[in-house]
Amino acid sequence: MSSKPTVLFVCVHNAGRSQMAAGWLRHLASNTVEVRSAGSEPADHINPVAVEAMREVGIDITSQSPAKLTWDTAEASDVIITMGCGDACPVFPGKRYEDWKLTDPAGQPLDVVRQVRDDIRVQVQKLVDTLRT
């Protein structure tokens, strides 16, 4: 990894989990990490309940948009975190991979999405700690 690692968060729609994870990483790691997120089948917009849950903790993800996972984006990333994208996620030798088992916030009420948000924060903090060592 370079002095500024690149982390890619991937889920199916790139509208909830991966966007919240990217928001947390930007918040917790500041500008020490390049943050990307993508989806194997991106939605048209970010899940508004995920936006609200993140807003509650002072993180604004409204400037982000779901993006299509591309080979180039994955290849250029040092760490790839998957969240239920299945076989659509490419595998590259030498990359660090983690698969986070998280509830999909799609169609869930705010109280469930808050729990997902908090679970993601714990995972992202662990990630930040390992990137700094």
- Which positions are catalytic? 11, 85, 89
Tell me the sheet residues that pair with 37: 9
Residue 36's CB: how many other CB atoms inside 10 A? 20
**What's the CA dihedral at 63, 101, 110, 27 to 10 degrees?**
-40
| SS3 of residue 92 by DSSP | coil
Beta sheet of 96-99, edge-to-edge order: 34-39, 6-11, 79-82, 96-99
